[in-house]
Structure 1
Amino acid sequence: MRLLHTSDWHLGQTLHNFDRSYEHQCFLDWLVETIVAEQADVLLVAGDVFDNANPSAQSQRQLYRFLQQARERAPWLQVVVIAGNHDSPGRLEAPAPLLQAHGATVVGHVVRGEDGEIDLARLLVPLANRAGQVQAWCLAIPFLRPGDVPRVEGESEGDPYLQGVALLYRQAIELARARCAGGQAIVAMGHCHMVDGQSSLDSERRIVIGGTEALPATMFGASVAYAALGHLHLAQRVGLQEHLRYCGSPLPLSFSEVNYQHQVLRIDLDGSAVREVTPIRVPRAVELLRVPPAPAPLAEVLAALEALELPELPAHAQPYLEVRVLLDGPEPGLRAQIEAAIAGKPVRLAKIEPTRKVATAAPLDDAMTLDQLAQLKPDDIFRRLYRQRYGEEAPAGQLAAFTELMLAGATEAA
């Protein structure tokens, strides 16, 4: 049996206010072609299908159109989708009865019975081959919030949330083992942060309030043939184990991923074990540019921007640009100078990343008495802070701008 593992689509995400529906559609079209070319039996989508809990109608149409096209092109395909921390469990599950008719199983949240016990059987999805024979059991466990996990009875050390998550996985694995016949594999899905998982800078949201959110790889146990994980946007092995994997996001979600090659994973099962895990690179529909590659003085940056030579592309396919500038101090006209340097070029200015040189702060003034502090005016405080931060007196333009801001605030308050 052949599986494809993907996650963290974040349909509806914008990059510094630029719409990315074109890029998402390019990925989904590519994924349909890949499913057919690879003759995949199962597609695993490990959470964060949407970028927020209230996705746009366009984003939802993209998902449903993809499922429809995948079913038409690969009638044998089985799809299993779990909710991530960005998704609304109820919204994701709402069309589940219709999606099941098209070979898709969606698990958005944990359900409890009248006795308060978690319905573990609902989290267990049989994976069948094209002849209808069950070849594997999939633990489709969505992102777990603290109220979703069982309580660990008795006094024990450690975080109760982490212990509850581990217990839930253990109980689900035990149920899967009880249902497994000879030669059937157990495949786990989860949307979580594993211990030592490498995060992508600027593009991931902490998923549990507080610091205790990382889960140990040991919670999967030796009976799990493969764990298809979501949440971390960089593809990686968990604990250097081949069968415990994050596939990563298919699109770069921030400029920190400019040089990263995104992928989906192909998993070939041989009976109850994994024979091979193969990355399949996702083509990038829109490029990300960082000019210059490292922060540089403004004059060098403007020269590099003016020298940019790019192919003509329609607006929705033009590359995104991050400009990295090394400044000696505030530069009020920075954006205008950058926009002038790229005027007429087929590129979209997404971000200006200023880095200021660290100046040796001027010696602190002598300590002031309470009476002296009371006599300070706002512009005196501004001057003192500027002098401490940059080691020089505030320019006249900065002082004028500060005064204008203070006057505007006073007028509004009145």
Structure 2
Amino acid sequence: MRLIHTADWHLGQSFHGQERHAEHRAFLAWLLDTLVERQADALLVAGDIFDVVNPSLAAQGLLYDFIVDAHRRLPGLQIVLIAGNHDSGNRIELPAPLMRRLNTHALGRVYWRDDGDLDAERLLVPLTDAEGETRAWCLALPFLRPAEVTGAGLRADQGDNEDDDAPNDYVAGINRVHTRLIEAARARREPGQALVAMSHAHLHGAAVSEASERPIVIGGEESISAALFPDDIAYVALGHLHRAQQVGEDRIRYSGSPLPLDFSEVAYPHQVVEVLLDGEALATTEALPVPRPVAMHRVGPAPLERVLAELAALEDDPEQPRDRWPWLEVRVELEAPIPDLRARVESALEGKALRLLRLERRLPRVKGEDTPARIDLESLGPRKLFERTWADRWGEPPEADVLADFDRLCQDVLDGDEEVTS
């Protein structure tokens, strides 16, 4: 059985104020051609399908057009989608009855029965081959928010020794849900059928992109152990982290984002993963590089004269349509402020088919200070800004429980934005 694993599409992303529909459309066209060429049996999309909980109509159209086209060209293809932390679980599930007619399963959140047990059956998706025979089970687990996995009702049925090593109730709840879902899958599988887990989560030891991965819920302390996925799970399809990587074993993988979501991710390998199953076991995995429809250039950090020389040397293609012009970030090291810096940079780019998105000024450090004289709030992020503000006010860094409260508040704000417009 042949699967394609991808994640973190972030459809509708606003890139420094610019929309990226052309890039996402090109990626989805390439992905569809790849599915046809490889004759895939299933496509697994491990969360963060959209960039925000309330995506634009254009972003939603990209997803639904892709699903319709995929069903038309590959009627037997199964698509399994889970919600990520950037997604609205309710929005992902809203068209689920219609999508099932297109062989697509959309899972946005977990549910608990009246007896306090996880409704695991709805998260188990049978994966069939070309003859319609079930060859594998997909354990489709969307991103778990604290309200879904914590609380007195859930702790009441916890054994005395369960999750003793978990650092907090939230992580214990995540661990418990994974464990129960795996138990339910084992009960459903028949000999010869593989188990494939799909989760949107942060695993211990995985490399994080600080610039573009939202510091959600306890700022990294929500990470879970790869040991949650026992050896009888043939493959673990992960989403959440943008750098493609395996975690400990070849069978446990982040596919990574198909496009760079920040200039800091330009050097990442962007790919999808082809997974071949042989009976209950993993046979092979292969990384399929995603063509980059729009180039991204970083110039500097360097003194202004060197930056201007590098800009003059950049190659461009004026014949390309504007939505394919490369994105550009310029970082200039300054000895003193230059009031007309932007004008000089834009003058160097005049007539070039390039789109300047970000101009960063790097001023010299003040003697005795460990931080730059100017702080870039966009790259700092809300959590680090809070830590700095707290330390300035109270003379010491915030403790772990304070940071946990702050991160939960951030999550409540994000979830509140979803409720207001839903």
Q: Identify the TM-score tier after normalising by the shorter chain.
A: 0.7 to 0.9
Q: Deviations over 1:197-249 (max 9, x none)?
A: 1012311012313552110000111211110000000000112x000000000
Match of 1:310 in 2: 316
Which SS does the other structure have where 1:106 is aligned?
strand
Which residue number in structure 1 is paired with residue 385 of structure 2? Answer: none
Alignment-mate amino acid for residue 285 of structure 2: V
Of 350, 359, 372, which residue of structure 2 is paired with 1:352? 359
Partner residue in 1 for 2:5? 5
Distance in 2 (CA, whole Å) between partners of 1:56 and 1:248 is 23
Alpha carbons 2:244, 2:268 under 8 Å: kept:
no
Q: 1:266 aligns with which of 257, 264, 274?
A: 274
Bigger shift: 332-341 or 318-327?
A: 332-341
Amino acid at match of 1:74: L
Task: Report the TM-score when normalising by structure 2.
Answer: 0.82
Identity fraction in percent: 50
Q: Note the C-alpha offset of 1:100.
A: 0.1
Displacement, 1:359? 4.7
Task: Specify which of 229, 249, 254 is matched with residue 220 of structure 1.
Answer: 229
Counterpart CA distance in 1 for 2:145 and 2:14 is 26
User: Equivalent residue for 1:172?
Assistant: 181
Closer/same/farther in 2, CA of residues 351 and 331 from structure 1, 3 Å limit: same
Structure 1 position 361, deviation (Å):
5.2
- 1:204 maps to 213
Please give the secondary structure, in 2, of the residue aligned with 1:194. coil
Residues 252-305 of structure 1 deviation map (CA, whole Å, 9 limit, x = unaligned): 00001112220000000000010000000000000001124xx11112212222
Aligned residue pairs, count: 359
SS at match of 1:253: coil
The answer as to whether partners of 2:53 and 2:86 remain within 8 angstroms in 1 is yes
Distance between the aligned counterparts of 1:178 and 1:104, measured in 2? 24
Q: Which moved more, 1:154-163 or 1:65-74?
A: 154-163
Cα 1:317–1:225 change in 2 (3 A) is same
Distance in 2 (alpha carbons) for counterparts of 1:32 and 1:39: 10
Residue 53 of structure 2 is matched in structure 1 by 53
| Partner residue, 1:329 | 336
Equivalent residue number for residue 87 of structure 2:
87
Judge which range, 204-213 or 270-279, deviates more.
204-213
Q: Is the 8 A contact 2:202 2:220 kept in 1?
A: no
* Aligned equivalents of 2:214, 2:306: Cα separation in 1: 35
SS in 2 for 1:248: coil
| Equivalent position amino acid for 1:242 in 2 | D
Following superposition, the deviation at residue 308 of structure 1 comes to 2.9
Structure 2 distance, partners of 1:27, 1:120, is 33
**Distance (whole Å) between structure 2 residues aligned to residue 200 and residue 24 of structure 1:** 20
Shift of 1:14: 1.7
C-alpha offsets along residues 17-56 of structure 1, whole Å, 9 cap, x if unaligned? 1110000000000010000001100000000000000000
Structure 2 counterparts to residues 15-414 of structure 1, below 5 A: 15-149=15-149, 150-151=154-155, 152-154=158-160, 156=164, 158-239=167-248, 241-292=249-300, 295-312=301-318, 313-360=320-367
Q: Deviations over 1:70-120 (max 9, x none)?
A: 111111100100000000000110000000000000000011223343211
Does the 8 A contact of 2:124 with 2:139 survive in 1? yes
Distance across 2 between alignment mates of 1:329 and 1:262: 38
SS in 2 for 1:144: coil
* Structure 1 unmatched ranges of 5 or more: 363-414
Unaligned runs of 5+ in 2: 370-422
Paired AA for residue 265 in structure 1: V
Query: Letter of the aligned partner of 2:128 in structure 1?
Result: A
Once residues 218 and 327 of structure 2 are traced to their aligned partners in structure 1, the CA distance between those partners, rounded to angstroms, is: 32
Q: Deviations over 1:288-334 (max 9, x none)?
A: 01124xx1111221222233331112110000011111111222221
For the residue of structure 2 that corresponds to 1:4, the secondary structure is strand
Question: Is contact 2:142–2:200 with CA below 8 Å preserved after alignment?
Answer: yes
Please give the alpha-carbon distance, in whole angstroms, between the structure 1 residues aligned to 2:91 and 2:367. 54
Structure-1 separation of matches of 2:104 and 2:265 = 31
CA distance in 1 between partners of 2:126 and 2:315 (Å): 53
Give 1:182's aligned amino acid.
Answer: P
Q: Secondary structure at the match of 2:192?
A: coil
- Aligned-partner SS, 1:322: strand
In 1: Cα distance, 2:194 partner to 2:215 partner: 32
RMSD across aligned C-alpha pairs, in angstroms? 1.5
User: How far apart are 1:153 and its partner, in Å?
Assistant: 4.2
Report what 1:406 is aligned to: none
Please give the alpha-carbon distance, in whole angstroms, between the structure 2 residues aligned to 1:210 and 1:355. Answer: 27
Distance 1:201 1:163 in 2: 25
